[in-house]
Structure 1
């Protein structure tokens, strides 16, 4: 699945609305993502303008927009994350694609999430966090075999002691206890 198809699927969701929980984020490169999580409707805080603005108007660099989108995703504000990250998705940053996948998956659009993970991994096959999240998506589909394949891929890239391996291994173990 290619980015234009995925963004089109995301646009439908964006039109339907987004969450509103507040949480602290991280800050980097010209904008405060902590302040961005205090904004609503997919807006980000512009230090320059001293207010919440649409991401396109924020004058934030791509990394700052990524950090804002990531902060929204980690705060459970998946709709806001999708809005912000979609503004820079076409730039082909695997981190952005990964968190778009994460946010869509957390909203129940697992197939859309998998498409974003696949694209992130096409660009960077060694991106173990995308592999972990892809494995979690497969578990949501009860596809333990594919989740284990991602676990093996992670082990091949960073061993069995890295965070991504340990987290996916735990998720698989928990899943197996439930079935």
Structure 2
């Protein structure tokens, strides 16, 4: 028989200890898994996914580097519905209607000539119109805005082939390989064009 309240309290605590030390297991809900659905667009419409990445906002602690991220912020025009819709219309004018002169006007109307996607498509349109000088100006402008804009390296490489500059086109092919490897579409199409005999009419 327990003779003191103190011993009774100790016994109660001892008997309760296993409950505290070994609580019942809690069943955790399984995570939702890797839901996928990639972003809309991609491919040529939004330009290369290998272009200069957007700035990593959480890493902007160092105020000295903020000016360096200005250009990618400026280039993220697809967040603006008016810009996106205007670009989509120009894209359709080029690739669905092959009306390159009208597309150039549509692209200039976006007031974003220094956006690499815009400059690249202006260069492409001039190339399709046979104005190789203007085309070159715009390809250079696109690469100045984004030196890793892989679609521009591709289109400009095709420009080089049509001008007979196969060595330069080979350099463009090498740059594409450095940016996205040899399995990306931009590499494959330029490599295929380089394999064709000189003077072959390119459909790209």
How does the TM-score come out when normalised to structure 1?
Answer: 0.63
Which of 102, 125, 130 matches 2:124? 102
What is the deviation of 1:68? 0.9
After superposition, the Cα gap between the structure-2 partners of 1:175 and 1:110, relative to the gap in structure 1 and judged at 3 Å, is: farther
Which of 84, 92, 104 matches 1:71? 92
Q: Which has the higher strand share?
A: 1
- Largest Rg, 1 or 2: 2
How does the TM-score come out when normalised to structure 2?
Answer: 0.56
Provide the C-alpha distance between the structure 2 equivalents of 1:133 and 1:89, rounded to a whole number of angstroms.
22
Q: Which runs of 5+ in 2 are unaligned?
A: 1-39, 42-80
What is the deviation of 1:90? 3.9
Q: Which runs of 5+ in 1 are unaligned?
A: 1-26, 29-59
RMSD (Å), alpha carbons: 2.0
Q: How many residues align?
A: 121
Secondary structure in 2 aligned to 1:145? helix
Which of 97, 106, 123 matches 1:84? 106
**Is residue 130 from structure 1 mapped to residue 152 from structure 2 by the alignment?**
yes
Tell me which residue corresponds to 1:139: 161
